[in-house]
Amino acid sequence: MMNFHVLTLFPEMIEDALRTSITGRAMTKGLLSLHTVNIRDYSVTGNGRIDDYPYGGGAGMVMQAEPVMRAYEALQETMEKKPRVIYLTPQGQVFHQKMAEELALEENLVFLCGHYEGVDERVLEEIVTDQVSIGDYVLTGGELPALVMMDAISRMVPGVLSNQESGETESFQNGLLEYPQYSRPEEWRGKKVPPVLLSGHHGNVDRWRRNQSILRTLRVRPELLESVEFDKKDRKYLQSLIRQETENRITEEEINFLSKLLANKTKS
């Protein structure tokens, strides 16, 4: 059971998204709960304003400390122990799968979504335990990043995915990107499904998929290969790539990378 709490200026954006699809089903099943708090309800000026000009000048507005603190305090009163509070910001640590798995073990998680040029640093110092970025680009607010995190965390909560959904071999589970998938028809607009997948030979299918995963990772995210364990058959496939024995023409740069990788792996 995971209880998400979100401090935001746009609660309906969070509610609508999380109540859709698999996370919505999980809420109906009682595996997840969502509680949004509108920071604007805690305005201290009485007119609903929660932002002000930055000291020192500069563009944009800053979310004030007091409304954020009061919204947080209202939340915290309902909990026995202090929850982890995640502030979404490009200045944070970059989110990854391991972090999702670790956060899925918490009972309560609070997400603080900022807007404008940021949030007064003093309230961040008081309440935030983790500052997280979802990647090196800038969004207009923390709502989408909070949703991205909650989605990734939710699927790590036991029972949220069906056996079929979680039984799938997924990207990053084995440190590699996923292999390509095909469904009916066998031929679509002149393009055929790779014959090995129709062969019924499970060993060959598994080998082909593993090779495709390795090849994709080499092409798109070569740095991921450095933390993958290769067995004898993997190494044989990597050698065949280097010798250009497969129909997958690979670049000189990829060959150099692979050669170094294989040399390092045999050393250690």
User: Smaller CB distance to ligand ADE: residue 23 or 89?
Assistant: 89
Q: Is residue 127 involved in binding ligand ADE (CB under 6 A)?
A: no
Peptide bond just before 158 cis, omega within 30 deg:
no
Cα distances from 163 to residues 157, 158, 159, 180, 214, in angstroms, run 13, 10, 8, 21, 26
Q: Is residue 55 involved in binding ligand ADE (CB under 6 A)?
A: no
Residue list 77-116, contact with ligand ADE (CB under 6 A)? 88-90
Residue list 144-203, contact with ligand ADE (CB under 6 A)? 145
Q: Is residue 142 involved in binding ligand ADE (CB under 6 A)?
A: yes
Max alpha carbon distance in the chain (Å)? 73
Q: Is residue 8 involved in binding ligand ADE (CB under 6 A)?
A: no
Distant-in-sequence, close-in-space partners of 211: CB < 8 Å, separation ≥ 6: 237
At closest approach, how far in Å is the CB of 87 from ligand ADE? 8
Q: Contact with ligand ADE (CB under 6 A): which of 27, 31, 139, 261?
A: 139
Q: At what angle do helices 21-28 and 11-18 cross, to 10 degrees?
A: 90
User: Smaller CB distance to ligand ADE: residue 36 or 89?
Assistant: 89
CB 38 within 8 A of CB 46: no
CA 211 – CA 179 distance, rounded (Å): 8
At closest approach, how far in Å is the CB of 98 from ligand ADE? 17
Q: Is residue 134 involved in binding ligand ADE (CB under 6 A)?
A: yes
At closest approach, how far in Å is the CB of 234 from ligand ADE? 35
Q: Is residue 11 involved in binding ligand ADE (CB under 6 A)?
A: no
CA 48 – CA 31 distance, rounded (Å): 34
Q: Is residue 23 involved in binding ligand ADE (CB under 6 A)?
A: no
**Interface contacts to ligand ADE, rule CB under 6 A:** 88-90, 133-135, 137-139, 142, 145
